[in-house]
Amino acid sequence: QRYEILLKDLEKKSEEQREVLISLQQEFKKAQGLSAGK
């Protein structure tokens, strides 16, 4: 049962990390677009 709790915690963490990655990628694309627009 403790193992299940650990798995759920890991899933939650990876979900958060994925959201962070997505937002970072969006920021990166915005920055690229700005530099390309000059």
Q: Where are the domains of the chain?
A: 1-38
| DSSP single-letter state for residue 38 | -
What are the pLDDT digits (tens) for 1-38?
899 999 999 999 999 999 999 999 999 999 999 887 76
The two tokens of residue 33 are: 């677009």
d(CA 8, CA 4): 6
Res 38: pLDDT: 61
Q: State how far the alpha carbon of 22 is from the alpha carbons of 6, 8, 32, 37, 38, in Å.
A: 24, 21, 15, 22, 25
How many Cβ atoms sit within 10 Å of the Cβ of residue 20?
10
Quote the CA–CA distance of 27 and 36 in Å, as a whole number: 14
